Amino acid sequence: MKDADSMTQDNGLRTMKDDLRVDLTDEQVGLFREKGFLRLGRVTTPQEIEWLSGVYDQIVKQRLGVTPEEMTHRLLGDQSPEALVTFLSPEGIVPALKDTLFARNARTIIARLFGVEEAAVLAGWRLFFKPAHGAETPWHQDAAYRPPPHRGGSVWMSLDPATVEDSCLHYIGGSHLGDLRAHYLHHHHLKTDDLDPAQAVACPVAPGEATAHHCKTLHGAGPNQTGRPRRALVIVCQVTGSA
Ligand code: NI
């Protein structure tokens, strides 16, 4: 637990708190409600990305014995890597995550997109990374993983460049307005085939940039065609109260 303790101290976040505040326009909110996803641009500072990257790698190392980067070397010549390595609730290991600019902006963004007060937004963290040469993330709706009501969305931020080659997210616009599709289990992930992949829109992002999506928006990611891991931090939000 020594690592976790040291991670919660000395994060230097106090000084960068007000460096970047995300303010969405009415046009962006309208676009999200129509399409079910939105490219947000930068949602935190380069300094915080550096801190988050360090915390991220320590959490992965604590759990797996290797960082995402070290895993790349270990995998060379080995069996195929997992499509997506997932950790739930990293904020339970490093509570300082909840005090970041990214967390504050994500909550503000979701409240604005759903037209509610920030107090109505319940947030939880996920840590996802796609190993070097990892297979595709199957098409799914996040809502398939949990019981209704399906009111909420995620802010998905990459710590690494996420281009089409690096397995950025792809979305099907307007899919959040339809019903929940039938899913089945596929290599530990839920998958649906009830969609037309030709309608997909790729959303490449730079480190520190994010996308938001509704929990019913169909999304997936292609295989990682590069020799480097693609690390993402995701804040999953549920909106409570009446509509
Ligand atoms: Ni998802």
Encoded tokens for 218? 């169909």
Place of tokens 């190392």: 61
Centroid of ligand 1 to alpha carbon of 193 (angstroms): 15
Alpha-carbon span 130 to 177, nearest angstrom: 28
Within 10 Å of residue 65's Cβ, how many Cβ atoms? 10
Centroid of ligand 1 to alpha carbon of 54 (angstroms): 24
Confidence of residue 21 (pLDDT cuts 50, 70, 90): confident
**Cβ(83)–Cβ(130) under 8 Å?**
yes
Give the mean model confidence (pLDDT) for residues 215-231. Answer: 94
Centroid of ligand 1 to alpha carbon of 141 (angstroms): 6
Centroid of ligand 1 to alpha carbon of 6 (angstroms): 31
Q: How long a stretch of residues is the chain?
A: 243
Cis peptide before 149 (omega within 30 of 0): yes
**Cβ(132)–Cβ(72) under 8 Å?**
yes
What is the edge-to-edge ordering of all strands in the sheet holding 85-88?
37-42, 209-214, 152-158, 230-239, 121-130, 85-88
**Cβ(130)–Cβ(229) under 8 Å?**
yes
Alpha-carbon span 131 to 231, nearest angstrom: 8
Q: Is 95 left (phi over 0), alpha (psi -120 to 50) or beta?
A: alpha
Place of tokens 């829109």: 201
Centroid of ligand 1 to alpha carbon of 7 (angstroms): 27
Q: What is the pLDDT of residues 124-181, one digit of tens each?
A: 999 999 998 888 999 999 999 999 999 999 999 999 999 999 899 999 999 999 999 9
Q: What is the pLDDT of residues 40-91, one digit of tens each?
A: 999 999 999 999 999 999 999 998 899 998 887 765 555 667 778 889 999 9
Centroid of ligand 1 to alpha carbon of 157 (angstroms): 13
Centroid of ligand 1 to alpha carbon of 156 (angstroms): 9
Centroid of ligand 1 to alpha carbon of 234 (angstroms): 9
Centroid of ligand 1 to alpha carbon of 218 (angstroms): 8
Centroid of ligand 1 to alpha carbon of 20 (angstroms): 26
Centroid of ligand 1 to alpha carbon of 237 (angstroms): 12
Centroid of ligand 1 to alpha carbon of 2 (angstroms): 32
Centroid of ligand 1 to alpha carbon of 137 (angstroms): 9
